[in-house]
Amino acid sequence: MTAFGFDITGRSATIHAVSEVKNDDDKTQTIQYEVTIVDAAGKPVKTFTGDKITLPPGGERLC
């Protein structure tokens, strides 16, 4: 995950989150990537949810 474009007074930044996922199961699986941004105290600030994707057995993908 990377963050840039910080605007401290405006309380904003641009977040780019990527993760590699792999289906280790022997059946096709549908997954959905979700990222939660938390503040310094651990309080959730924002949650982003990606599209659902289907991975065949052994399938890999960047989300």
* Within-domain flag for 36: yes
* Within-domain flag for 10: no
The reported pTM is 0.67
Residue whose token pair is 């590699």: 20
* Within-domain flag for 6: no
Q: Could you say which residues of the chain have pLDDT below 70?
A: none
Range(s) of the domain holding residue 54: 18-62
* Within-domain flag for 28: yes
How many structural domains compose the chain? 1
* Within-domain flag for 51: yes
* Within-domain flag for 3: no
Residue 15 confidence (pLDDT): 84
- Which residues, at least 6 apart from 19, have a Cβ–Cβ distance to it below 8 Å? 33, 62, 63
* Within-domain flag for 29: yes
Residue 21 confidence (pLDDT): 93
The CA distances from residue 44 to 11, 17, 50, in Å, are 15, 16, 17
Residue 32 confidence (pLDDT): 93
